[in-house]
Amino acid sequence: MEHYTMNLTLKVWKQKNQNTRGHFETYQVKDISSEMSFLEMFDVLNERLIEENREPIAFDHDCREGICGMCSMYINGRPHGPWHGTTTCQLHMRAFKDGDTIVVEPWRANAFPVIKDLMVDRGAFDRIIQAGGYISVNTGSAADANAIPVEKEKADQAFTAAACIGCGACVAACKNSSAMLFVSAKVAQLALLPQGAPEKKSRVLDMIDQMDKEGFGSCTMTGACEAVCPKEISVDNIARLNEQYLSAVLTIDK
């Protein structure tokens, strides 16, 4: 693949904290390699800003391998940028052309308040997981891996749902800032397995209740969440969640 350099104009959202008004600030970034990742480009920009005694841009990152979900940036109107099924840290600068203007924003959702610049507080997701995203087991020696048979189809579905990295792109893309794709994936990865069956009803009720408390919007099934999910989580999980929720409401012991 041909390697080339480019000059870019970045319009980046700057905001001191959630209690202050934000604004776009324009940066000229020169001699950027097409083989850099998007975050590496931001590293270069920040190094240059520091050398000029200017404030660097705050953004989240950790593993830079598409696993942790930290690299949450809204790039030219799309969470994680133009490449399908890709996190921001996996997005390479060859996705853009020399002379391009790139607009970068944080996730926009009431449940994800801005910490600073491109960083948002996604603690709401953690609290949803704490509400029910676990199974209760007796401690002791580990059971044999094949002690509880699992149908391959369900095992595959659970594994696919468990691929969700909790980045929040689904919320950012949804016109209602709904967290249903995230919650449905986290419910499905446990509910589809026999180990998750004992708490199946209480789990879905508790996690949905916490989701509502956090202020996420309702789901209207436009499919925007699935379209931008870097792990391509299916909206089929939302349908499954709705079915489980209705069943739990009608049958759980009062």
Give the start-to-end residue ranges of the domains of the chain. 5-105, 123-138+150-251
Output the CA–CA distances (angstroms, integers) from residue 51 to 6, 31, 48, 214, in the order listed.
21, 16, 5, 40
In total, the chain counts a number of residues equal to 254
So what's the pLDDT on residue 136?
Answer: 84
pLDDT along the chain (254 residues), means of 10: 90 96 97 97 98 97 95 97 97 97 97 98 97 83 76 93 97 97 97 90 96 97 97 96 95 70
- Paired tokens of 195: 């180990």
Residue 76 backbone phi and psi in degrees, to 5 = 50, 45
Instruction: Give the separation between CA 244 and CA 95, rounded to whole angstroms.
Output: 41
So what's the pLDDT on residue 2?
Answer: 77
Q: Evaluate whether 152 touches 222 at the Cβ level (below 8 Å).
A: no
H/E run at residue 119? strand 119-120
* CATH code assigned to 5-105: 3.10.20.30
Q: Does domain 123-138+150-251 have CATH number 1.10.1060.10?
A: yes
